[in-house]
Amino acid sequence: MNLFNRQLYLPFYSKKIIKVIIGLDNSNIHQILKIAKAAELSDANYIDIIANPYIVKLLKSIVNLPICVSSINPISLYNCVLSGADLVEIGNFDMFYKDNIYLTYIDIINLAKETRSLVGNIDICVTIPHYLSLNEQIQIAKELESLGINILQTEGISLNNYTDYKLLFDNKLSDKISISTDLSALTLSSTYILSKFVDIPIITSSAMNCLTCPIANFYGSSGVGIGKAISQEKNIYNMSYYINEVRNSIYYTSNFYPDNNFIMNLRINNYKDNFKNLID
């Protein structure tokens, strides 16, 4: 494992990373500060924010956690590194999908190359788009590893599309476990496959919560990215409590229920049948 950030090396090595995603398009200072403080209080490992140099400087003066900035603009990422960002990410693509913007394989590789040339010895994470076939995901992951990318992140169906997604199951989802596992199945299956082909850490993200986060470790993930589930809480205390729930679920489940992924396998296989065109 080749990471430049020494503060994150051990958490990644132990595969218990919790990344709090504040949002690529979230510039609400009040909300950013609330979530950042909650992340710090609950000992999350790092936070992921909009690529804004002013916000980076503000958070660096208030929060002691490593700060990751996300964008698809290498110059914006570079400017944030100059302002103190600890690592950068090409990803969190959710906000672009509603405008029908989908990066190609070549787009992502070129962005990775340009970003590496600009930021130097700073850790780079790249999200692998869920709309690529699994064969394409494997190939792009291997190429990114060869380019010196330090971390990969998987994604699945955005919660923004939950209403449409639910219709695919004829509104038969009636409990939180079913909803959670179905929404996270795509990102978990990508994590499982990619972990077999690359040696760099993988963060499992998109629709993850305290019910599904423990599964990620079984599928080869080094950690999870949590966003919407935290931002929906009303105050810092509740946000911090939720992050602690995630941490406890990861630690306790991995220690006491090592075979807990059997049910998730059934979910993923069912999901693959419904979305076969995404993985063929």
- Number of Cβ atoms within 10 Å of the Cβ of 15: 16
What is the torsional sign of CA 160, 158, 204, 74? Answer: negative
Q: Binning pLDDT at 50, 70 and 90, where does residue 31 land?
A: very high
The more confidently predicted of residues 260 and 80 is 80
Predicted local distance difference test score (pLDDT) of residue 41:
95
pLDDT at 167: 46
| Three-state helix/strand/coil letters over the chain | CCCCCHHHHHHHHHCCEEEEECCCCCCCHHHHHHHHHHHHHCCCCEEEEECCHHHHHHHHCCCCCCEEEEECCHHHHHHHHHCCCCEEEECCCHHHHCCCCCCCHHHHHHHHHHHHHHHCCCEEEEEECCCCCHHHHHHHHHHHHHCCCCEEEECCCCHHHHHHHHHCCCCCCCCHHHHHHHHHHHHHHHHHHHCCCCCCCEEECCCCCCCCHHHHHHCCCCEEEECHHHHCCCCHHHHHHHHHHHHHHHHHHHHHCCCCCHHHHHHHHHHHHHCHHHHC
Q: What's the distance, CA 129 to chain centroid?
A: 11
Contact partners, residue 161, CB within 8 Å, separation at least 6 = 97
- 187-207 tens-digit pLDDT: 999 999 999 999 999 999 988
4 within a domain of the structure (yes/no): no
Span 236-257, pLDDT tens digits: 999 999 999 999 888 876 555 4
> Binning pLDDT at 50, 70 and 90, where does residue 84 land?
very high
- The phi, psi pair for 153, rounded to 5°, reads -135, 135
Structural domain count of the chain: 1
3-state SS record for 58-100: HHHCCCCCCEEEEECCHHHHHHHHHCCCCEEEECCCHHHHCCC
The one-letter amino acid code at 170 reads D
Residue 31, φ and ψ in degrees, nearest 5: -70, -40
Whether 2 is in a domain gets the answer no
pLDDT for 258 beyond 60: no
Is the predicted pLDDT of residue 275 greater than 80, yes or no?
no
Q: Which domain holds residue 46?
A: 9-272
Is 64 inside any structural domain?
Answer: yes
Tell me, what CATH number does 196's domain have? 3.20.20.70
Domain contains 130: yes
Mean pLDDT of 37-60: 96
Across the chain, mean pLDDT equals 84
Taking only the tens place, the pLDDT of each residue in 63-80 is 999 999 999 999 999 999
Whole-prediction pTM:
0.84
Distance, CA of 92 to CA of 130 (rounded, Å): 11
Q: What would the pLDDT profile of 135-169 be if each residue is shown by its tens digit?
A: 999 999 999 999 999 999 999 866 554 444 444 44
**Alpha-carbon torsion (141, 11, 47, 203), positive or negative:** positive
Flag whether 280 is in a domain.
no
What whole-number distance in Å separates Cα of residue 187 and Cα of residue 243?
20
Instruction: Report yes or no on 279 lying in a domain.
Output: no
pLDDT at 9: 93
176 vs 55, higher pLDDT? 55
Q: How far apart are CA 110 and CA 202, in angstroms?
A: 20
